[in-house]
Structure 1
Amino acid sequence: MNMHDEHVTPGADRVAAGAGQLPGTPPRTLLLVDDEQNILAALKRLLRRDQYHILTAGSGQEGLDVLASHPVDVIVSDQRMPGMLGADFLRKAKLLYPQTIRIMLSGYTELQAVTDAVNEGAIFKFLTKPWEDHQLREHIAEAFRLKGIADDNVRLNDQLREVNLALAAANASMQMLVHQQQHQISRDEVSLGIARELLQFLPLPVIGLDDEGMIAFINTAAAALFERGAALLGNEAALVLPHLFADKGIADGAQHLAAIDGQPYAVAIYPMGAHSQSRGSLVTLSRCGAAS
């Protein structure tokens, strides 16, 4: 097998592909395929100044072997070679390594074969032998520029895909958190409804006060105890029920006796908020043996 792996050294005369390469990035790799060793040597001498990493092969099959073991950016292949024509080699290269940019260089004007390969997308450009040095270098530089753009697009698409995946994961996490919070709110609402229902139908008279002493709740037993139970809501407890609170006040935790319709009741005030975010007080009225 006649293959060479050559790292060319920087030259003073650079074309765009070499001069535009960012410091620290790996050199662009060029594969030259021709069965004539003098042609390969001439091409390497011409392109040495352009800082390409140059690989060579003496046939289409050797070219495929090189592609299987080395990442290659641009391929320049002869058309007339023994065993496999350049167009057939470039077709296989496109099939196996579609990311490569492929150029045909030939002294034979087999237009139909070349046209077919171009139409199939196997060939980026077709150049004839003998070549014009500056033109050949410019065409190869253009091929490397296109390959660089394609590589950047792949890299940006990969980064975009990673960002989209991260956003999707964050969105899923946020939706799960919102669902959990909604579920907790629903459970709290159910618990609150059950608690209100229990208080509502509790046989013990219960009055709920907000943190300013206003009557915010009165259960069925308490409403039955006072003729105007419904009218008490939204009023200041010390004003509408002075016989319960005017003398003793509404201090949280206070307990005292009061008379309701001549019957003695123990008035107990329980502050809320010790184990929840509720504010205000609950007042229970328990009938007892004697009024104060």
Structure 2
Amino acid sequence: RTLLLVDDEDNILSSLRRLLRREGYTILTANGGKAGLEVLAAHPVDVIVSDQRMPGMTGVEFLRKAKDMYPDSVRMVLSGYTDLQSVTDAINEGAIYKFLTKPWDDAMLRANIEEAFRRKALSDENQRLGSELQHANQELERMNERLKCVLADQDRRLRMDEAALSLTQEALAVMPVPLLGIDPGGMIALANRAAEGLFAECIPLIGLDANEILPAEFTPLLDASRGCVEITCGDRRFRVEAHPLGEKNSSRGTLLSFTCRTDAS
């Protein structure tokens, strides 16, 4: 907690140093406005207490310039001379926090300076919290941008999957090889056009029990979800193969493919 005392009278500076030496402040002094600006250029200062009537530069003029250098410092005038208009203007401009008069009351002066440091500490804490909030908001914006990219990628993949599924469904529908998909419960869940032509008397096939539609020769295929049999439908003979669907440990049913045996008599 750094305090700058500015007064052109050395005895005043000495008296103030003695009064405040036990308060735990780092105390800097200057014997005029110009010297005060030089101190400010070399040291960060939290609270400034300045005399008003000084040669070369008044206290109000000095504190206006000090505000430009350290806008977050708390600035006060301690003076026996009162130029009411200039002090009022400086207070309205924010250059001065308080105007204190000489001769001063020791206890009141210590209390005012301590209050100024508390005000500075509160300002610093608000700035720190504001900076943390700004950082958090920036990080949130970056996360939102990353999330948008992830969602856009997922949406793109979903559209690709939907397009692939639609294309697969169309391809299965127009394949000349009859195909039947049987779910784990034995219900027909897929039947392409060739399969519907093969079992035209039972269409629509989807939703029917496969055991009721298919000949008894199919039972071993449905039970094992693999293998093959040969059957005759009308005047054509087919080789029927069973293909298990799903992962190795999670059956999703069976796909039956019907291949016409052109070499059968």
TM-score above 0.5 = yes
Residue equivalent to 1:135: 108
Q: Is the 8 A contact 2:172 2:192 kept in 1?
A: yes
Equivalent residue letter for 1:240: I
Is 1:258 the counterpart of 2:234? The answer is: no
Q: Tell me which amino acid in the other structure corresponds to 1:173.
A: R
- 1:169 aligns with one of 133, 142, 155: 142
Would you say the 8 A contact 2:177–2:194 is kept in 1? yes
Q: Which residue is 2:212 aligned to?
A: 239
Aligned residue among 62, 69, 72 for 2:45? 72
More helix by share: 2
1:120: Cα distance to partner? 1.3
Deviation of the 1:246 alpha carbon? 3.4
SS of the residue aligned with 1:31? strand
* Aligned residues of 2:3 and 2:26 also touching (Cα < 8 A): yes
Q: Distance in 1 between matches of 2:91 and 2:219?
A: 102
Give the C-alpha shift of residue 244 in structure 1: 5.1
Task: Judge which range, 69-78 or 244-253, deviates more.
Answer: 244-253
Identity of aligned residues (%): 49
Give the secondary structure class of the aligned counterpart of 1:272: strand
In 2, the alpha carbon distance for the partners of 1:250 and 1:71 equals: 86
Equivalent in the alignment of 1:61: 34
Q: Deviations over 1:155-205 (max 9, x none)?
A: 111111222222222232223222222221221111111111111001111
- Equivalence map 1:197-276=2 (5 Å): 197-243=170-216, 245-246=218-219, 249-274=222-247
CA RMSD of aligned residues (A): 2.0
5+ unaligned residues in a row in structure 1: which ranges?
A: 1-27
- Residues 1:229 and 1:55: Cα distance change in structure 2 (over 3 Å): farther
TM-score by length of 1: 0.84
Q: Please state if 1:285 is matched with 2:226.
A: no
Residues 1:37 and 2:42 aligned together? no
Distance across 1 between alignment mates of 2:112 and 2:145? 49
SS of structure 2 residue aligned to 1:99: coil
* Structure 2, gaps ≥5 residues long: none
Does the 8 Å CA contact 1:44/1:54 hold for their aligned counterparts?
A: yes
1:49 corresponds in structure 2 to: 22
The 8 Å contact of residues 244 and 251 in structure 2, kept in 1 or not, is answered as no
Give distance in 2, aligned partners of 1:78 and 1:120.
Answer: 18
TM-score (norm 2): 0.92
The answer (yes or no) to whether the contact 1:243–1:259 under 8 Å persists in 2 is no
- The alpha-carbon deviation at position 146 of structure 1 amounts to 0.8
Could you tell me how far apart the structure 2 residues matched to 1:73 and 1:150 are? 11
Q: 1:268 Cα deviation (Å)?
A: 0.8
| Distance in 2 between residues matched to 1:112 and 1:231, nearest whole Å | 99
Which position in structure 1 is the counterpart of 2:119? 146
- Residue of 102, 116, 121 corresponding to 2:75: 102
Q: 1:185 aligns with which of 142, 158, 176?
A: 158
Tell me if the contact between 2:218 and 2:229 (Cα under 8 Å) persists in the aligned partners. Answer: no
Say if 1:238 and 1:246, in contact at 8 Å, map to a contact too.
yes
Q: Give CA-to-partner distance per residue, 1:249-276, whole Å, 9 cap, x none.
A: 452231110111242110011122359x
Count of equivalent residues:
263
1:90 aligns with 2:63: yes
After TM superposition, the runs of 4+ consecutive aligned structure 1 residues lying more than 6 A away are: none
